[in-house]
Each structure stands twice: as C-alpha cells, then as structure tokens.
Structure 1
Amino acid sequence: MVCDKCESKLTKVSAPNPWRTSNATAGGRKINENKALSSSKERYNPMGNSLAPCRICRQKVHQMGAHYCQACSYKKAICAMCGKKILNTKNYKQSAT
C-alpha cells in the first residue's frame, strides 16, 4: 500500500516499452548498443544494494525506498514508504497472517 504522494517515488518498470519514440534512437532502440554494459544500472542486484528491514517486523522489504513490508503496511493500513495512515481500519475485520 502506497499513498498518493509516494506513488511518484516508485521505481521504474522492470520491462519498459522498447518501442517508445525518442530523438536519439532509431525506431525506439539505440543502434549498436551493448545491453550487457548499458543496462547494469537498471538491473536488480540483490547482493549490491541491500534492502532495508521492515521497521515493525525486521523482515526484508521488497521495494527500494520503502520502510515497511507489504504485510505490515496492510495490517496497519499505512503507506509502505512514509508510514502515513491511509484508511481507518477500526470497523474492518482484517485477517493477515
């Protein structure tokens, strides 16, 4: 769960559209591009940049920039990135294990 303000901070899509138009490319792709060298910054690396633990349960968070795991943010109805209360769960019967 992410609030509206933090939705713009989400990471890029893992498989972006290769046919988007751009001035520096031919038909949406770079010509003679070595993908092994150019895409290393965009690729997910589990060993290089470590993911932070959840502030509640100390489990690894699955999203860069988030402070709470998906399970804790759902149980508490808070934003996973900033911790802001999203909705009131007083009258809800939530079952998250």
Structure 2
Amino acid sequence: MQNKALPSISEVSKADGEKTPASVKALVLSLVSRVENEVRKEKLQRNIQNSSQPPSEDKPKGFKAKKPRSRRPRGGQPGQAGNAPKLYPPEAREHIENYYPSQ
C-alpha cells in the first residue's frame, strides 16, 4: 500500500456532502472503516522479520511468571523414607574385619 494520506470525510465541502446520496455516504464510511481496520491489523502483525525495523524496536514477547519459592529446602524432606542399602545384621556375616588406614 502507498503511504499517501487519504483525505478525511471532514474535508468534503458542505455543498458536496449535501449532494451525495445517503447510500453512497454509508458505503464510503464502511469502506473507510475497513481500510482503517486493515491498517491496524498490519501494524499489529508487523515485527522485525517482516519490516525494516531493527531488532531493538521489536516488542518483547511475554515471559512465563516464575513460581514462588517454596519454604521447604531442596532435596529429601524430613521424614522421607531413605534409599540407603540395607545392612546385614552382625549374626548373618561370616566374619568382621576392622580396617584402619595408616597415616
């Protein structure tokens, strides 16, 4: 579309406005509103990929809101059943060896 400004309805002289039939006036008004709506849609759908604007002019996209932090600490919670391996009772072992590393 060309960027020429169209004359507005208010610029029509009073004599010409009185000579124009009502049906033509209604048609012109509906066409003007359709053109204005199309121009608005084009402006809303325009972004850096389909216009000559630099990326800094593009509107930021919405971000998800962060979840509020929980009061509980991370990891296993107090009272949770652990996953440690089960130890044999001393009676079920063949022998017990004490090992002390030398320093």
Q: What is the TM-score of this pair, normalised by structure 2?
A: 0.29
Q: Which has the higher helix share?
A: 2
Structure index of larger Rg? 2
Q: What is the TM-score of this pair, normalised by structure 1?
A: 0.30
Higher relative contact order (CA 8 A, sep 6+): 1
